[in-house]
Amino acid sequence: MTQAESMSAMSQEMQDCVAACMECHSVCEETMSSCMQKGGQAQMQIMRALIDCADMTRMCADMMMRRSPLSAEMCAMCAKACEMCAEACTAMPDDPQMMRCAQACRRCAETCRAMAGMAM
């Protein structure tokens, strides 16, 4: 990759993926807060998945924005973390915040899988 290519504008697909990652990060953080307020109802498995997903999506977005050569691999890992989080959130189908989080995670996983398959 030349310096001109690395400094070029992000593709629309990459911009969409960064936006999906940031949205997912935000929703995971909100969901963690919601879980903590509920106390004992929040299972540790769900909290771990939320924390992993929030951290991964933020890092993935950061790496894409700085055009890291590791972005494709990070997108693949981020998609996996998002899928695990969406699965964990569906354990509480009556909780609207959990369902909102699962939806954001699935959208992020989809965009990250697409980016992982593209040359960055």
pLDDT score of 71:
93
Give the model confidence (pLDDT) of 12-55 as tens digits.
999 999 999 999 999 999 999 988 887 765 688 899 999 999 99
pLDDT, greater one: 89 or 1: 89
Q: Which residue has the tokens 């993935």?
A: 60
Give domain 12-118's CATH number out of 3.40.50.300, 1.20.1270.360, 1.10.10.10, 1.10.3720.10.
1.20.1270.360
- Sketch the domain layout of the chain as residue ranges: 12-118
Output DSSP code: residue 10. Answer: P
Q: What is the DSSP string of 39-72?
A: GGGS-HHHHHHHHHHHHHHHHHHHHHHTT-TTHH
Q: In angstroms, rounded to a whole number, what is the distance separating the alpha carbons of residues 116 and 78?
A: 9
Which tokens in the block code for residue 42?
């929040």
- Across 6-10, 39-43, 93-97, the highest mean pLDDT is recorded for 93-97
